[in-house]
């Protein structure tokens, strides 16, 4: 059915996103319908759903690409004002936070992929580098994850003392280092190798094991432990 020149209120009840959600559940909605609910209204010439489809078309219908847009990029979309842009950004950020929100039980880390699953939602979409540390107890269960530093496109400053202080304060037995490469190149730099070696030596003096160092790309990762560098 064509809905040209009709607002969502003119549609049949079963095709309106809100009513469709209430009747069939959130999973029944398309990405565009969910965004239409978020932005609430369209423009004089477009319904909220048509505007949502245009937003998705601009990122090749890729939600991960949408998540990388900042407020200025959204404001450049015709029909998107500040309120709509803020709502979209807030929803995307909430989704990211949900992905790494702690559950009732502490996650057990048994492989590099387990660590990747924790950090990818945090770091995979960032346009700048961040350096994090994952703190583990003797059973390799997660105690906490902490951002140590934020940098620019090509690097960030890492303070070994701050990492060890966080580990000692939380009675940590093992740590996993993690940072992202916004460029997508997962090969460790010489600086990456040197800081890994430095932190490894320092942590051993404190009877803390450096278990791995993970470099995060958008959808993939590099593990120092898996490749035998550690």
- Residue 68 sits in the same domain as residue 118: no
Q: What CATH number has the domain bearing residue 175?
A: 3.40.140.10
User: Is residue 228, in this structure, part of any structural domain at all?
Assistant: no
- Do residue 154 and residue 127 come from a single domain? yes
Let me know if residue 58 belongs to a domain. yes
pLDDT tens-place values along the chain, 230 residues long: 444 444 555 655 545 888 888 888 888 889 999 999 999 888 888 888 889 999 999 999 998 889 889 999 999 999 999 999 999 999 998 888 877 665 545 688 999 999 999 999 889 888 899 999 999 999 999 999 999 998 765 556 788 999 999 999 999 999 999 999 998 899 999 999 999 999 999 999 999 999 999 999 988 999 999 999 88
| 93 occurs within a structural domain | yes
pLDDT at 23: 83
Measured CA to CA in angstroms, residue 71 lies from 68, 86, 212, 220 at distances of 10, 7, 35, 26
Co-location of 193 and 164 in the same domain = yes
Same domain, yes or no, for 209 and 121? Answer: yes
Q: How many domains does the chain have?
A: 2
In a domain, 105, yes or no: no
Whole-number Å distance between alpha carbons of 219 and 217: 6
Q: How many helices (H) and strands (E) in the chain?
A: 9, 5
The residue among 43, 75, 100 that closes a domain is 100
Residue 60: which region, alpha, beta or left (left: phi > 0; alpha: psi -120 to 50)?
left
Q: Which residues span the domain enclosing 85?
A: 8-100
Whether residues 86 and 44 share a domain: the answer is: yes
Same domain, 118 and 95: no
User: Is 106 among the domain residues?
Assistant: no
Q: Is residue 1 part of a domain?
A: no
Q: Are residues 162 and 83 in the same domain?
A: no
Closest CA to 132 of 142, 122, 124: 122
Let me know whether 87 and 29 are in one domain.
Answer: yes
Last residue in a domain, options 34, 65, 100: 100
Question: Of the residues 100, 123, 140, which one is the last residue of a structural domain?
Answer: 100
Let me know if residue 229 belongs to a domain. Answer: no
**Pair (48, 83) in one structural domain:** yes
Question: Do 72 and 139 have their domain in common?
Answer: no
Residue indicated by tokens 């995979």? 124
Whether 77 is in a domain gets the answer yes
H or E segment at 99? helix 82-100
On whether both 184 and 95 belong to a single domain, the answer is: no
Q: How far apart are CA 158 and CA 161, in angstroms?
A: 9
Could you tell me if 156 and 214 lie in one domain?
A: yes
| Residue-level pLDDT at 33 | 92
pLDDT value of position 5 = 46
59 to 53, 65, 143: CA distances (angstroms): 10, 6, 37
Check residue 154 and give its pLDDT: 58
Give the bridge partners for 145, in sequence order: 134
């Amino acid at each position: 059915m064509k809905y040209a020149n009709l607002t969502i209120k003119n549609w049949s009840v079963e095709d309106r996103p809100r009513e469709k959600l209430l009747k069939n559940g959130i999973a029944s909605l398309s990405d565009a319908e969910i965004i239409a609910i978020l932005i609430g209204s369209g423009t004089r010439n477009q319904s909220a759903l048509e505007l949502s489809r245009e937003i998705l078309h601009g990122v090749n219908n890729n939600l991960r690409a949408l998540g990388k847009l900042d407020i200025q990029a959204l404001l450049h979309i015709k029909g998107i004002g500040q309120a709509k842009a803020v709502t979209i950004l807030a929803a995307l950020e909430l989704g990211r936070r949900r992905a790494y929100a702690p559950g009732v039980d502490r996650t057990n880390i048994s492989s590099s992929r387990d660590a990747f699953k924790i950090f990818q939602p945090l770091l995979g979409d960032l346009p700048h580098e961040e350096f994090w540390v994952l703190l583990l107890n003797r059973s390799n269960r997660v105690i906490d994850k902490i951002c140590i530093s934020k940098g620019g496109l090509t690097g960030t400053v890492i303070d070994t003392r701050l990492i060890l202080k966080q580990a000692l304060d939380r009675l940590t037995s093992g740590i996993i280092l993690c940072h992202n490469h916004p460029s997508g190149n997962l090969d460790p730099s010489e600086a990456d190798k040197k800081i890994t070696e430095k932190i490894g030596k320092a942590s051993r003096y404190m009877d803390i094991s450096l278990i791995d160092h993970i470099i995060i790309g958008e959808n993939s990762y590099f593990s120092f432990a898996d490749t035998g560098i550690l």
